[in-house]
Amino acid sequence: MDNIVTGTMAIIGSGYMGGGIAQVFALAGTTVLVADVSADIARQGRARLLRDADDFVRAGIFPPDAVALLEEHVVAADSLEAAVADADFVEEAVPEDFALKRETLRRVGAAARGDAIIATNTSAIAITDLASAVPGPERFLGVHFMNPAPFIPGVEVIVHPRTDPATLAATQTLLARAGKVPVAIKDTTGFVVNRLQYALFSEAARVLAEGVATAQDIDNLVRSSFGFRLALFGPFAIADMAGLDVYRAAYGSLQSAYPDRFSPPQVLDDLVQAGDLGVKTGAGFFRLDPAQRDQLVAYRDRAYAALGELIRNLGPSPHMTAAAPTDASESGQ
């Protein structure tokens, strides 16, 4: 698997996600063969991602030589079998349909080399449920890109119980070389990103349905408050900086009002009872010595100021000025 970093990749599915993934790896110098339901659709997909790349260059968000790199490194294959025949790494990126993905992976496994790594770009389907479609499931794992793939750095790399550690290591190396942030996780339905994302969406929808705030107000609050922080820190680091005792007290209020939805997590109770309250005590979900605490606070303040300046320079999103329902009844809730 050592040759995977400089080898050939096949992407099955030339739509928005598959095309974006092809752009990521082609810009890193990898030869990418793109396949779809027909050779004509694959050629159309390649032409579209070249047009998109030209737009991105004009916008200044792709390098000036991006179109030339894609023209050199992206090839529209005549068929799935032709695309994967000599590929070192195959990424399946067909629509989120279990039966379709299993059948696609079966075909990939039958046509690919025995030492090729095979990955699926599923958003929520358990990797273990797909693994049985692949001959040699030890070479199979999930590689979940976020939309839009060229611009979101994080990638979930999901292993099932039979994934070979060498498969995981090679995949992480490939992703890191392409400028991504690969994070290895265990297999579970929804993985990490969508379990967290959909939990937030569910509560936001409840707030909207209750008439507490409009969709626009909720979005504005999220993006300008804790969502602002989330661009730089994860939920555990944010909790440590806020104080875990503060979080525990807030859970008490939330549990009183919404006992069916909020109760303090056991891990939070355990830390508070142990006196590990986060940054102010030097230990919480993370441990920091005094020098690190000072560095963290200084970094946080600089980072928030820089992010605020970036947002001001970009100007408001169209969503901030778009017409929106004023209450849940107008939005069909």
Query: Per-domain residue ranges for the chain?
Result: 2-186, 225-325
Strand partners, 278: 283
pLDDT at 330 exceeding the cut of 50: no
Residue 333 to residue 124: CA distance in whole angstroms: 25
Angle 238-172-73 from CA coordinates, rounded to 5°: 120
pLDDT at 322 exceeding the cut of 90: no
Domain 225-325 adopts which CATH fold?
Answer: N-(1-d-carboxylethyl)-l-norvaline Dehydrogenase; domain 2 (1.10.1040)
**Under 8 Å between Cβ of 120 and 157:** no
Question: DSSP secondary-structure letter at 331?
Answer: G
Cis amide linkage into residue 148, ω under 30° from 0: yes
Look at residues 93, 111, 87 and name the one whose alpha carbon lies nearest to residue 37.
93
pLDDT at 137 exceeding the cut of 60: yes
Give the residue-averaged pLDDT of 130-145.
97
The whole-number pLDDT of residue 318 equals 87
Dihedral angle of Cα 8, 11, 15, 19, to the nearest 10 degrees: -30
Give the residue-averaged pLDDT of 5-28.
93
Q: In the annotation, is 73 catalytic?
A: no
Catalytic residue (one of 73, 144, 160, 319): 144
Task: Out of 1-10, 87-96, 186-195, 200-209, pick the least confident.
Answer: 1-10
Domain 2-186 adopts which CATH fold?
Answer: Rossmann fold (3.40.50)
